[in-house]
Chains A and B, each alone.
Chain A
């Protein structure tokens, strides 16, 4: 049993079920990120943890205690909203102090705590301003300050960075991570941004269509996505998902990929060794752009490096890397080359496939096979 237990929780609005039976155990001090496209039920789940939405079925436990019927204020949670939800009629000080006031914290103690939190978030000089006089980043800090006054068991964040511009978003991301490292409080964090999920979390729950598609560490999710949705959603540029044929050639499992000219290239695929029942059948080969690179940039320690010459369609320099597009299995596959690659559009270039990193999916069920 975890510190925060989401035990077979479902949520329906009327006859529409928006969250199917969900099981997540969060350990104390974990940073769990719920990630998924808009409308997949992330906020709904978070609001149920907060107590702002009723649980239709199942149980939520914090620290071993069932909280389904406990008021939000008594759950010992703190929440940061996407819109910050600062009270416009109160100063920053008033905003931070309101929760403590409601919980009957005496004034001197409140003042001390406000000073401490303001110091931590560097908003001391803003304490007497109204929210309307703050920039987006400053509002964000105040919203976090308000949450920090409570020594909560669990911090809940609902897309806290999505209203900030790109630069500020990266800065605040780092600050949230630092804060977590400093305080060690359990965090459940909702975002639709897979990079935020990968950088912040200790564990990720990838959600789609009211289901948790995969729950695991960022590494597990990135390296071994449970299905094609997770593979396509996590990572940028996305994992290449290429129709391929699985076959045994000279005693070795290989993935066969069609080229634009109709010929087939065979890549030894040791991870598929156990998949004899799929031999001769169609699969979807999943390979990340960085596992499809120039030989000089490839991971030389990889146990399964396969080199082939392929005709390049497009070359896109992107500063630190160059993205090279090639047609494989009828799809555009993107490889990540070093910046100074010699690859030219219309000419063949040598690719090194790190097949130890490649995965295979069933084209029908979309689940991972290997």
Chain B
């Protein structure tokens, strides 16, 4: 099939190409400048490809640059973020799944009200909870620690993960649960053996959403962490803001890409599961 190249088509492609460039330009600038020596940037060649290719800015950003008190690079903060984001995403997803399971398959009096209240959590702005949360973390002895950040993100994420899973499980055939009940499976066995294995698509959605939000969060990270528990976003800010000496733009660019890579990675790896229909043929057909 060939579509005649009319004037309309050509202008359409031109427009799309223009938007592509528009969106990809920042990425290009970041990557190109992270791979050149600082003097190439300061001499005004922001848009040019590096003439002297180097990985030194990456090395510096990763392990040498002055971020906190010591010149550690971003590495320890990257670890902080990982140690924060992985349990936070896992716990939040699992609890959302459990909530969704109860709210759809073990309905009780007032369940809609409870779901409504949980949903309400989606609309509470971060800033409002800063002070009460700080107080709570203090009482729990979690102030300034990575587990404290995990706690905050779990609390904030549960509303969303519950919403996702509740809506997904609402369409999950209740007869499967009843069949499992007759087969002798209990509450948690049904959850683990029947519901969870069929939750692939929504789990992927939920994980992508949570990972992106938690990894990219700055406000909670800046508010509730200490020097040794700062997440990547806060450390990146410190790196860029550090007032000592000249501004090493190439190192900043490298650091910024590092901070963005994990979310990109999650999209690429998890995204392919997005489209897989895992429920085909369970019921009817």
Contacts and interface: CB of A to CB of B under 8 A. Distances in A.
B223 interface: no
A77 B181 CA distance: 11
A130 B189 contact: no
Nearest to A130: B281
B281 A131 contact: yes
Interface in B177-205: 178-185, 189, 193-194, 197-198
B280 interface: yes
B281 A89 contact: no
A134 B182 CA distance: 23
A83 B279 CA distance: 14
A81 B179 contact: yes
B43 interface: no
Contacts of A74: 184
B278 A136 contact: no
Interface stretch (A98-106, A110-118, A198-206): A98-106
Given A131-B282, A132-B280, A139-B285, A87 B181 contact: no
B282 A52 contact: no
Interface string A46-84: 010011100000000000000000011110011101111
Contact of A85 (B189, B193, B279, B283): B283
A133 interface: yes
Contacts of A85: 173, 175-176, 178-179, 282-283
A136 B194 CA distance: 21
A131 B176 CA distance: 13
B272 interface: no
B184 A102 contact: yes
B276 interface: no
Contacts of A50: 178, 182
Nearest to A86: B282
A88 B184 contact: no
B107 interface: no
Contact of B173 (A47, A73, A83, A139): A83
A113 to B, nearest CB: 14
Interface in B151-183: 173, 175-176, 178-183
Interface string B231-251: 000000000000000000000
Query: Size band of the B side of the interface?
Result: 20 to 34
A162 to B, nearest CB: 10
B212 to A, nearest CB: 28
Nearest to B181: A72
A17 interface: no
Contacts of B183: 73, 98-99, 102, 146
A146 B179 CA distance: 10
A163 interface: yes
A88 B181 contact: no
A88 B193 CA distance: 11
Main DSSP-derived SS at the B contact region: helix
A88 B178 CA distance: 14
Given A73-B182, A98-B180, A88 B284 contact: no
B177 to A, nearest CB: 9
Nearest to B196: A89
Given A73-B184, A102-B189, A103-B184, A88 B281 contact: yes
Contact of B178 (A52, A71, A78): A52
A47 B181 CA distance: 12
Contacts of B278: 88-89
A49 to B, nearest CB: 11
Interface in B34-68: none
Given A83-B173, A85-B173, A87-B176, A77 B281 contact: no
B182 A99 contact: yes
A87 B182 contact: no
Q: Interface centre among A82, A102, A130, by most B CB within 10 Å?
A: A102
Contacts of A86: 282-283
Interface in A211-233: none
A120 B280 CA distance: 27
Given A83-B175, A88-B280, A89-B197, A73 B181 contact: yes
A136 B189 CA distance: 28
Interface string A122-134: 0000000011111
A79 B184 CA distance: 12
A319 B180 CA distance: 47
A33 B15 CA distance: 68
Interface in B243-277: none
Contacts of A133: 281
A87 B175 contact: no
Contacts of A87: 176, 179-180, 193-194, 282
Interface in A26-60: 47, 50-52
B284 A78 contact: no
A136 B284 CA distance: 7
B181 A52 contact: yes
A77 B179 CA distance: 11
Interface string B119-140: 0000000000000000000000
A51 B183 CA distance: 12
A83 B283 contact: yes
Interface string A164-190: 000000000000000000000000000
Nearest to B199: A89
Contacts of A134: 281
Contacts of B280: 88, 132
Contacts of A77: 182
A-B interface, 7 closest residue pairs, ranked by CB to CB distance from nearest: A132-B281, A88-B282, A102-B184, A73-B184, A99-B183, A89-B197, A85-B179
26 contacts: A50-B178, A50-B182, A52-B181, A52-B182, A72-B181, A73-B185, A79-B179, A81-B175, A83-B173, A85-B173, A85-B178, A85-B179, A86-B283, A87-B180, A87-B194, A88-B278, A88-B279, A98-B185, A102-B189, A131-B282, A132-B282, A132-B285, A134-B281, A136-B285, A139-B285, A146-B179
